[in-house]
Amino acid sequence: MDVWKQILRRLEAQVSRENYSNWLEPIRLSHVDDQHALHLLVPNASAQQWLESEYQETILDAARSLSLTFESVVFTLNGTAAPFEMNRSAATARQTSFDFRAAASCFHPRYTFDTFVVGSCNEFASAAAHAVAHNPGRAYNPLYLYGGVGMGKTHLMQGIGQELQKNFPHLRVIYITSEQFMNEMINSLRYNRMSSFHERFRSADALLVDDIQMISSKERTQEEFFHTFNSLHHMEKQIVLSSDRTPRQIPGVVDRLRSRFSWGLLADIQPPDLETKMAILDRKAEESSVNLPDKVRSYVAMQMRSNIRELEGALIRLTAISSLTGADISLSMAKQALGSIISVSECKATIDSIQGIVSQEFGLQPGKLQERTNVKAISFPRQIAMYLCKELTGASLPEIGRAFNGKHHTTVLHSVAKVERLRQRDPNLNKLIHKLTDRFN
C-alpha cells in the first residue's frame, strides 16, 4: 500500500464522510521529494485552493500519527505541468524508495520488548534478541529465531527493530518479510532498477527478514538474498531471520544459503506453558483495561491451545461480548463464548486417555505400554506417559503404578524425575511433551 493510501485511511476516520469523498478521496500521490515534501495530485483548481487552505495540517497530522514526518504538502493539478502518466515510472521509482524508508519506521507500535511476556518457553530467544538489540553485528550474526505459528516471532523481531532504533537512532534498520523482499526484487527487475535494489538492502545497518521459509524453492530470490547476506555479514551488519522451522527443515534452499542461516545463533520459541499463557492474558487484559477475573484467566489459559494469537483472540471475544451486553466477564460467559472454539480441542486428561495418546504418538499398539518389558522403544514412552499422568491428572503415584501393570510407586517416581530432568536438557523432548500436553488442552 502506498503512503498516501495509509494516510487516507487515517483521514477517513477523522473527517466527515462528505468531506472525505469530496476532497480527499480523489487525491492521488505524486511523489515525495528530497525536502520531505509530500506531493499530491488533485483534480481541479478549486479543490487545490480548498485543500491548501483547509487540509494541510490535517494531512500532516495524520501522517505524523503514522510516524511519517513530512515538512509540507504540495498540491499539484493532475494533468498540468508534469503529466502523471508520462511521469509514472519516475514517480513509482521515487515512491518505492520512499516507501522503503518509511517502512523502517512502520513497526507495529505494540510489538516491543516491553509488551513481550517472557517465560521459560521464550526466555532464550528473548535474551538473544536483547543481546542483538544492544550489540548489533557483534553478539550473534545472524540471529535465527524459529518456532510455530503465533508463538511471537514477528513480535520479537519487530521488538529488536524498535529497540535498535531507540538505542542507535542513526542506524538504518530494515524490517521486511521474505515475500516482500521477493516482490521488491521482481519489481526492480521489471523496471530495471536492480542497482537501486542492491544499494537499498546493502546499505542497511540491520536487516530483519521475517518468515524466511517463504524463499523455499525461489531460486532468484535466494540468489539475491545470498549476496545481500554476504555483503551485510562481511560489514558486520546485523541480520535477524525468523522461520517456522530450523534451517535444515526448510526444503528447497540452496546449501550455501542454508549453512549461512546457522552461522550465528539459532534460538527457538517453544509453545507457552500454562504460567506464561496466564501471564500473557494478564498483560493483554491490562493493556486494554479489561477486568479479567482470576478464574476466567485460568480457564482460558487451560482450555486454549498454545497459539498466542488464539489466546489473544479469546480475550478479544470476551471483551467484545462484555461491551456489547454490558455484563462483566465471568466464568459462565467464558464457557459459553469460547465453547465452540474449545470443544474441538477438548479432551480430558485421564490415565487412560494419556496412555492412548502416548501410544499413538510412538506408534504402539494399545496395551503395549503396560507390558512387562524394558525394551527402550516401550520403556521410554511409558516413562513419558507416567510423567504426563503425574502432571495432568490428580492420580497418586500408586494409582499410576497400578494402571501400568502394577509398577511399584517408586518406579513411577523414578520415571517422573527422569523425564523432568531430561526435559530440561533436551529441547526436542521438551517440545514433544508440550505437544502431548496440548492434546489435553
At residue 26, what are phi and psi to the nearest 5 degrees?
A: -70, -10
Distance CA 32, CA 100 (A): 12
143 DSSP β-pair partners: 240, 265
3-state DSSP percent of the chain in helix, strand and coil, to 5: 60, 10, 30
Interface with Mg ion (CB under 5 A), residue total: 2
Residue 303 interacts, among Mg ion, ligand ADP, none and using kind-specific CB cut-offs from 5 to 8 Å, with none
Residue 140 interacts, among Mg ion, ligand ADP, none and using kind-specific CB cut-offs from 5 to 8 Å, with none
State how far the alpha carbon of 388 is from the alpha carbons of 45, 284, 354, in Å: 74, 30, 7
- Residue by residue, DSSP assigns 387-439 as HHHHHHS---HHHHHHHTTS--HHHHHHHHHHHHHHHHH-HHHHHHHHHHHHT
Residue-wise over 317-334: b if at least 16 C-beta within 10 A, else e?
Answer: ebbebbeeeeeebeeebb
Residue 122 interacts, among ligand ADP, Mg ion, none and using kind-specific CB cut-offs from 5 to 8 Å, with ligand ADP
- Distance of closest approach, residue 270 Cβ to Mg ion, in angstroms: 16
Residue nearest ligand ADP by beta-carbon distance: 152
Closer of 271 and 401 to Mg ion (Cβ): 271
- Grid coordinates representing 430 are 521438551
Closer of 154 and 276 to Mg ion (Cβ): 154
- Distance of closest approach, residue 284 Cβ to ligand ADP, in angstroms: 7
- Distance of closest approach, residue 126 Cβ to ligand ADP, in angstroms: 8
Q: What residues make contact with ligand ADP under the rule CB under 6 A? A: 111, 115-117, 122, 147, 149-155, 280, 308-309, 312
Strands 72-77 and 173-177: unpaired
At residue 74, what are phi and psi to the nearest 5 degrees?
A: -115, 125
- Distance of closest approach, residue 108 Cβ to Mg ion, in angstroms: 11
Place of cell 523432548: 429
- Distance of closest approach, residue 61 Cβ to ligand ADP, in angstroms: 27
Q: Hey, how many other C-beta atoms are within 10 angstroms of the C-beta on 237?
A: 20
Closer of 315 and 357 to ligand ADP (Cβ): 315
* Helix or strand run (H / E) with residue 185: helix 178-190
Residue 438 interacts, among Mg ion, ligand ADP, none and using kind-specific CB cut-offs from 5 to 8 Å, with none
Residue nearest Mg ion by beta-carbon distance: 154
- Distance of closest approach, residue 211 Cβ to Mg ion, in angstroms: 6
- Distance of closest approach, residue 293 Cβ to Mg ion, in angstroms: 31
Distance CA 274, CA 252 (A): 36
Distance CA 135, CA 291 (A): 39
- Distance of closest approach, residue 122 Cβ to ligand ADP, in angstroms: 5
Residue 271 interacts, among ligand ADP, Mg ion, none and using kind-specific CB cut-offs from 5 to 8 Å, with none
Closer of 211 and 224 to ligand ADP (Cβ): 211
Ranges within 102-161 binding Mg ion (CB under 5 A): 153-154
Ranges within 154-173 binding Mg ion (CB under 5 A): 154
Residue 247 interacts, among ligand ADP, Mg ion, none and using kind-specific CB cut-offs from 5 to 8 Å, with none
Closer of 266 and 412 to ligand ADP (Cβ): 266
Asked if 98 and 3 touch (Cβ cutoff 8 Å), the reply is: yes
Q: Which amino acid is at 336?
A: Q
* Helix or strand run (H / E) with residue 63: helix 56-65
- Distance of closest approach, residue 301 Cβ to ligand ADP, in angstroms: 13
Closer of 147 and 401 to ligand ADP (Cβ): 147
Residue 308 interacts, among Mg ion, ligand ADP, none and using kind-specific CB cut-offs from 5 to 8 Å, with ligand ADP
Residue 117 interacts, among ligand ADP, Mg ion, none and using kind-specific CB cut-offs from 5 to 8 Å, with ligand ADP
Residues that bind Mg ion (CB under 5 A): 153-154
